[in-house]
Amino acid sequence: MSWRHWNGGRTLSTVKVVVRKSGQVIETVARPLREAEGGPAVVYRRRFWRYAAGSIDLDSRPLAPDEGNGRPAGSAQEERSEPRAVPATDDAGDREAIRTASAGVRMLVEAGPGTGKTEMAAQRIAGLIRAGLSPGQLLVLSFSRSAVRTLTRRLSRVAGPEDRVLEELRHVSIRTFDSWVFRMLRLLGGTPSALLAREHDANIAELTALIAGSRRDDVRALAGDRRHLIVDEFQDLPGVRGELVLALLELLAPPGHPGCGFTILGDPAQAIYGFAARNTAGAVFPGPAEYWKRVLSAYGAGLDVRTLRRNYRANAPLAGLSAKLRGVLLGPRPDEEKLRVIRESIAALPAPTQPIGPDWMLNGDAGNRAVLTRTNGEALRVMQKLFGSEVEGPMIPVRLRAGGHALLPPAWIATLLRRLRSPEPTRSQFTKIYAHVTGQGDMATHLKSLLPPEDVAWARLARASGAAEDTSSISVSDLRARLNWPDAFPDDQPSGEEGVIISTIHQSKGMEFDIVTILDARDDDGAPGEDSEAPAKTSAGEEASVGYVAITRAGGVLERMDGDAIHPPPRSRKFQGERQRLCHWRAGWVNLEMGLRGDLDPFGFVNPVLHDGAAGVESLQEFLLENARRLEGHKVMLCKQMAHGKALWNVHLQRGSSPDRLIGRTAHQLTYDLMRLLSEKGYSLPKTIMNLRIAGVGTVTSEAEFELEEPDRSSRLWLGVSLFGMGDFKPLRKKS
Ligand SMILES: Nc1ncnc2c1ncn2[C@@H]1O[C@H](COP(=O)(O)OP(=O)(O)OP(=O)(O)O)[C@@H](O)[C@H]1O
C-alpha cells in the first residue's frame, strides 16, 4: 500500500476526528489529515483509519497491516521492513536459551539498544509461568518507571492464547527498586511517614544494611518462596541500587548453592546514572562496569552469559549507526574521545527545515515523536516554543517529561473515590461505586477516555496502596500515603503513543519513538556557575552514554535541532532545599520556572472560602472532569491575593489576556522562592504572573491539617491540576 500526505508530502490541515467504537463516541481528537489509497485517513493509536464524515470507526479494520509491534505502515516505520544493515543477527540460539531456561538458571544478558531486552524479560517471565511458577515466586525489579511500564505492557502481548498464563501474568508484580524497598521496609515495621520523609536512596541503603545485618532472616522470610529474580537495566545500578542487587543475589541465590535463579539484563553502553554516586561516608561507589565484574566473578562458571545483537527497533541506517557507536563506547578509547565521536554524530544529523513553533508538529512524517534534551530547562524551553502564544493548548497532545514535573496521579481515582465515606472499601462496594459513577449519563461520556475497566481499576488501586491485587478491601489512608509516590500508577502514565513527548534524555530511557529530534545545545548552555543545573558536572563517559541513549531511541527518523532554536540558553538557580528553578532577568521582566511539585496548594481546589462555598467547589470539580482533556496545555494567569497576611496567587484560566475561571491557588513554597529572588534585589512581589500552562488534570490529596467539607473530608481525594512553564512578570521596586 502506498501512502502520500496531502499536497505532495506535507500535511495541509489538522481536523477534528470523532472516534467511535461499538456505536459510541469515545473521544474527539485532532489529527493531521493524510491521504491513503481510496481517500483520506488519520493516525489514531499508531494505526491508520479511514476518515469519513468527520469520524473514524474503531470497529472497522485499520488501513495498515497490523505488523509485529503494531505501528502504522506508511510512517517512518515502513522503512523497518527493509533488511537491517547490521549482519550480526545470529543470536537466535541465545534468544531461545533465554526463553526456555529453567527457573534455577543464573543468567546475565548483555545487549545493545533495541535488541529486545525488555521483550526478552517479558518472554522470560511468561516462560517461567508457563513452566509452572506462580506469580509470587517471581520477583521482577527495574530501575526506572518507564521500564516498569514498558515491561508491564509487553507482558499482555507475550501471553499467547493460553488463558491461565494470561491470568497469572496479570498478577506478576513488576516494581521499581524504590517501591519494592518501600514495601519491604513497611513489612519490617517502618512507618509510612518516616519512610516517605527520606530520600529513596536512604531507604534502599537501609534495606541493604538490614539484609547484611540483624534482620537478614526476617527479610529472607518476607521475600517468600522466590524461585527467580529478574533485574532489568543493570547498567544503571551503581550506587545503593547496585549494592542492593548484590545483597539480594547473595541472599536469595547464594553462589554455589542451587535454588533460586536469576536473569540480569543490561547494556553497559547505556549507563547514564550513578557514575558519581557516593555512599553515606562520602566514598564514591564503583562504576557500572564493576558491578558486571562482581556478578561474573561471584558466580563464575555457574553463570550463563548471553548476548543479543539484532536490533529490532531501528531501520537499517539507524541500526548501523547504533552498532558503530556502541563499538566506540565499549572500546578502549579515552572517555573524552568517546564523547567527541558521539557529539560529532549528533552534529552530523539532518535538521528539520521548519523553525520550531506551533505548526512544527503538524507536518512531516506520521508516527509518534519525541524531542530529547539534556536538561529540564532545555525541555521547558522547547515546550514553550512549541506552544507559541496561543491561550489554548495545541490540538496534538504535547507532553513534558522532566525531573520535578511529575504528572498528578490519574483523574479517575478522585472521580471514583471522592464521595467515598468508608475508610476501607470492599471489592463489592467498589463494584457499586464504579457502576454508579459510570452510570451517570454525562459522566459516562467524560470518563470513557479516563477510566480503566473495573477489575483493572481495582487491581491498580490495590497495588498502589501496597496491598495484593486480589485483596478484598483497600485502605484509603494507605492509598493516600502512597499516591504521590512516583511509580504508584505506572500504567496510567501517557504512553507516548500519540502526539509529541518533550523529554530529558534521562527520562526517555527504555522508550522508543518513530521520530526523534535531539536538541543539540551548545556546551555553555545551562552552565553559568555553581548555582545552575549543570551538565558540565557530569563526566565525559557519562555524557557520551547519555548522547548514545538519545540516538538509539529512534526507530525511523533521527534529526537534530540546533541549540540556538531555544536561545537564550536556560539557566537555573537553587532555592530552599534542593529546589532548582530556571530564571531569567530580561528587559525589566523576570521569567521564572513554576509548577514544581509543591507549588500549588492542594486545598486550593476544594477550599469553600476560595470558591464561594460548597456549591462552587462542586462546580469546579465537575468542570475539571468535563474538561480534563481540553485543559491540557491551556494558559493560566496567577493573580496575587493576601491570605492571613501572606501573599499567594490565585490560579485563573486565561481568556484572551484576562483572568477567567478560578481553579486553585499557589502554595507558600512558591511565595518563599519569589521572595528570595526579589526581596534581596529590592523588588516587591508581582501582582500578576503570566504564561504558565496546565500540565494536566489529576487526583490531589493532602494529609495536612485543613477544615474540609464533605465529601472531601472523608475521602481526602479530589481533582486538581498541575502547572508547568516559565512564569513571566514585571517586578516593581519596593516603595521605600
Ligand atoms: N523478537 C522480536 N521480534 C520482533 N520485534 C521485537 C523482538 N524483540 C523486540 N522487538 C521490538 O523491538 C523494539 C525494541 O525492543 P526492546 O524495547 O525490548 O529493546 P531493549 O533492548 O529493551 O531496548 P533499550 O535498551 O534501548 O531500552 C520493540 O518495539 C520491540 O517490540
Question: 323-335, pLDDT tens digit by residue?
Answer: 999 999 988 899 9
User: Which pLDDT does position 2 carry in this prediction?
Assistant: 28
- Distance (Å) from CA 61 to ligand 1 centroid: 26
- Distance (Å) from CA 560 to ligand 1 centroid: 24
User: Which pLDDT does position 352 carry in this prediction?
Assistant: 79
pLDDT at 87 over 50: no
Closest of 269, 254, 415 to residue 342, by C-alpha? 269
What confidence category does residue 76 fall into, taking pLDDT thresholds of 50, 70 and 90? very low
Report helix, strand or coil for 138.
Answer: strand
- Distance (Å) from CA 406 to ligand 1 centroid: 26
What confidence category does residue 187 fall into, taking pLDDT thresholds of 50, 70 and 90? confident
pLDDT at 233 over 70: yes
Residue corresponding to grid cell 539484609: 211
User: Which pLDDT does position 496 carry in this prediction?
Assistant: 52
CA distance 318 to 315: 6
Nearest atom in ligand 1 to 119's CA: 18
CA distance 708 to 687: 28
Indicate the domain borders of the chain.
3-72, 92-308, 316-349+362-406+494-574, 580-733
What confidence category does residue 79 fall into, taking pLDDT thresholds of 50, 70 and 90? very low
Which residues, 6+ apart, have CB-to-CB distance to 708 below 8 Å?
603, 606, 716
Span between the terminal Cα atoms of the chain, in Å: 74
Of 159 and 113, the structure prediction assigns the larger pLDDT to: 113
Grid coordinates standing for 403?
525531573
- For the ranges 146-150, 507-511, 550-554, which has the lowest average pLDDT? 146-150
Give mean pLDDT, residues 252-281: 80
Whether the Cβ atoms of residue 423 and residue 478 lie closer than 8 Å to each other: no
- Distance (Å) from CA 104 to ligand 1 centroid: 25
**Nearest alpha carbon, ligand 1 atom 15:** 116
What confidence category does residue 367 fall into, taking pLDDT thresholds of 50, 70 and 90? low
Among 3.40.1350, 1.10.10, 3.40.50, 1.10.8, what is the CATH number of 316-349+362-406+494-574? 3.40.50
**Nearest alpha carbon, ligand 1 atom 11:** 312
> What is the DSSP secondary structure assignment for residue 135, as one 8-state letter?
G
- For the ranges 402-416, 495-509, 589-603, which has the lowest average pLDDT? 495-509
Residue corresponding to grid cell 502514565: 493
User: Which pLDDT does position 81 carry in this prediction?
Assistant: 35
Q: Which of the listed residues 232, 265, 313 should we mutate to test ligand 1's pocket, taking the one with most ligand atoms within 8 A of CB?
A: 313
Residue 123 falls in which region: left (phi positive, over 0), alpha (psi -120 to 50) or beta:
alpha
Whether the Cβ atoms of residue 262 and residue 294 lie closer than 8 Å to each other: no
User: Which pLDDT does position 525 carry in this prediction?
Assistant: 43
What confidence category does residue 341 fall into, taking pLDDT thresholds of 50, 70 and 90? very high
User: Which pLDDT does position 461 carry in this prediction?
Assistant: 93
Give me the helices (H) in 74-229, please: 92-100, 117-130, 145-158, 163-169, 177-187, 192-197, 200-212, 216-223
Closest of 305, 219, 298 to residue 257, by C-alpha? 298
pLDDT at 69 over 70: no
Give mean pLDDT, residues 452-471: 86
- Distance (Å) from CA 312 to ligand 1 centroid: 6
User: Which pLDDT does position 65 carry in this prediction?
Assistant: 36
**Nearest alpha carbon, ligand 1 atom 14:** 114
Of 83 and 539, the structure prediction assigns the larger pLDDT to: 539
- Distance (Å) from CA 541 to ligand 1 centroid: 25
What are the pLDDT digits (tens) for 376-415?
888 888 888 888 888 887 777 788 887 766 678 999 999 9
What are the pLDDT digits (tens) for 3-62?
222 222 333 356 777 877 767 677 677 676 676 667 777 777 656 778 888 888 887 877
- Distance (Å) from CA 117 to ligand 1 centroid: 6
**Nearest alpha carbon, ligand 1 atom 9:** 116
Give mean pLDDT, residues 679-700: 92
Nearest atom in ligand 1 to 121's CA: 18
Give mean pLDDT, residues 250-254: 92
User: Which pLDDT does position 14 carry in this prediction?
Assistant: 63
- Distance (Å) from CA 511 to ligand 1 centroid: 10
What confidence category does residue 275 fall into, taking pLDDT thresholds of 50, 70 and 90? low
Give mean pLDDT, residues 301-320: 92
What confidence category does residue 108 fall into, taking pLDDT thresholds of 50, 70 and 90? very high
Among 3.40.50.300, 3.40.50.1860, 3.40.228.10, 3.40.50.720, what is the CATH number of 92-308? 3.40.50.300
Give mean pLDDT, residues 192-220: 85
- Distance (Å) from CA 500 to ligand 1 centroid: 21
Amino acid at 520: D
- Distance (Å) from CA 510 to ligand 1 centroid: 10
Nearest atom in ligand 1 to 147's CA: 27
CA distance 706 to 603: 8
What are the pLDDT digits (tens) for 125-173?
988 988 889 888 999 998 777 677 777 777 777 766 666 777 777 778 7
- For the ranges 72-86, 113-127, 315-329, 464-478, which has the lowest average pLDDT? 72-86
Mean pLDDT over the full length of the chain: 82
Residue 370 falls in which region: left (phi positive, over 0), alpha (psi -120 to 50) or beta:
beta
Q: Exposed e or buried b for every residue in 656-684, given b needs 16+ CB within 10 A? A: eeebeebbbbbbebbbebbeebbeeeebb
Whether the Cβ atoms of residue 235 and residue 268 lie closer than 8 Å to each other: yes
Do domains 92-308 and 316-349+362-406+494-574 share one topology? The answer is: yes
- Distance (Å) from CA 87 to ligand 1 centroid: 17
User: Which pLDDT does position 35 carry in this prediction?
Assistant: 63
pLDDT at 656 over 80: yes
For 212-246, give the secondary structure using H, E and C. HCCCHHHHHHHHCCCCEEEECCHHHCCCHHHHHHH
Q: Which of the listed residues 95, 118, 553 should we mutate to test ligand 1's pocket, taking the one with most ligand atoms within 8 A of CB?
A: 118
Whether the Cβ atoms of residue 329 and residue 545 lie closer than 8 Å to each other: yes
Percentage, residues of the chain above pLDDT 70 = 82
Question: Which residues sit with their C-beta closer than 6 Å to ligand 1?
Answer: 68-69, 111, 113-119, 267, 270, 312-313, 510, 512, 552
Give mean pLDDT, residues 700-704: 88
Nearest atom in ligand 1 to 312's CA: 12
pLDDT at 579 over 50: yes
Give mean pLDDT, residues 447-455: 80
- Distance (Å) from CA 69 to ligand 1 centroid: 9
**Nearest alpha carbon, ligand 1 atom 23:** 114
Give how far the C-alpha of residue 524 lies from the chain's centroid of Cα atoms, to the nearest Å.
Answer: 28
Nearest atom in ligand 1 to 511's CA: 27
What are the pLDDT digits (tens) for 554-563?
998 999 998 8
Nearest atom in ligand 1 to 270's CA: 25
Nearest atom in ligand 1 to 308's CA: 21
Percentage, residues of the chain above pLDDT 90 = 36
- Distance (Å) from CA 654 to ligand 1 centroid: 43
User: Which pLDDT does position 495 carry in this prediction?
Assistant: 55
Q: Which of the listed residues 69, 95, 117, 119 should we mutate to test ligand 1's pocket, taking the one with most ligand atoms within 8 A of CB?
A: 119
pLDDT at 690 over 50: yes
> What is the DSSP secondary structure assignment for residue 130, as one 8-state letter?
H
